[in-house]
Amino acid sequence: MPRIAAGLSAAKVKTAKPGQYVDGNGLRLLVRDTGARFWIFRYTIAKRTREMGMGRAGSEPGAVPLSEARKRAGELHRAVKDGRDPLAERAMAEAGRAARAQLDMVRGKTFEDVATAYIEANRAGWGNAKHAAQWTATLTTYAYPVMGKVAARDVTADLILSVLQSLWTTKPETASRVRGRIERVLDFARVSDGRMGENPARWKGNLDHMLSAPVQHGDDDGSPPDEARRPDRAWVSILLPRLGIRGDWPCTRVGGGRLGARRRQQGRSGLRAW
């Protein structure tokens, strides 16, 4: 049970033994076994008793003196009488401060800052040492001159179009890669730095209304499209020589090469296309 005091004094706050001491309006002095002293505001709201820390007690620098503790406790006591929950209000205020701090941090990060962070965060997982270099090279060449110094939160579809439009017809495969990489960087900004709203680099339902359909290309590590890496093509190129079948069988070519042409020709002549 806390010790009831007719009213704490500055001297009592300094010399009180371990325990809890009640002052008034919910204010309590907590003295730990170590000698550390803290102010607590104890209150009941919605049939629930709660305790709220009010800082270190004492008169030394950084501590809260008795007079200030009483003043704060009086304000909190009135808030409870008005039906307000001081702990809930403190939590909301702290969340607001954290959100504002996060927003300020995001405002200060440029697209280039976020892109660099994204590349570093994924470098180990990519495995291919050239992959990070390719990312850096394409963004440095095409994206950074237009929006590298723009805050990531301020990157718009218009800026992205400024990067892509000249490339879209002259270097369509490169343009498609650049767009995809910008999209990933801005997704990273949303997850890691709190960027708000839709991703302006998104293709479906967004840039697809402003640009022609992109060309198909391989993975971002520069590997060829999946069609050229089909396992059946690789196995055919190995098995045919072993079966004693000779000839020009460019089975691993994208689109089928001569093999595709032969199949089409056989189909037109009524022969069975194997």
Task: Say what the pTM is.
Answer: 0.44
pLDDT the model gives residue 100: 73
* Right CATH for 111-209 from 3.40.50.720, 1.10.150.130, 3.20.20.60, 3.30.565.10: 1.10.150.130
pLDDT digits (tens, 9 = 90+) for 11-44: 999 999 999 999 999 999 999 999 999 999 999 9
Domain definitions of the chain by residue range: 3-102, 111-209, 229-265
Residue whose pair of structure tokens reads 């045919």 in the numeric block? 240
Residue pair 55/38 in contact (Cβ under 8 Å)? The answer is: yes
Which residues fall within 8 angstroms of residue 41, CB to CB, at 6 or more apart? 26, 27, 28, 51, 52, 53, 54, 72, 73, 76, 77, 86
Q: Which of 62-71, 76-85, 216-225 has the lowest mean pLDDT?
A: 216-225
* Right CATH for 3-102 from 3.30.160.390, 3.40.50.2020, 3.40.50.720, 3.40.50.20: 3.30.160.390
Average pLDDT, stretch 241-266? 48
pLDDT digits (tens, 9 = 90+) for 75-132: 999 999 999 999 999 999 988 887 777 666 656 689 999 999 889 888 888 878 788 9
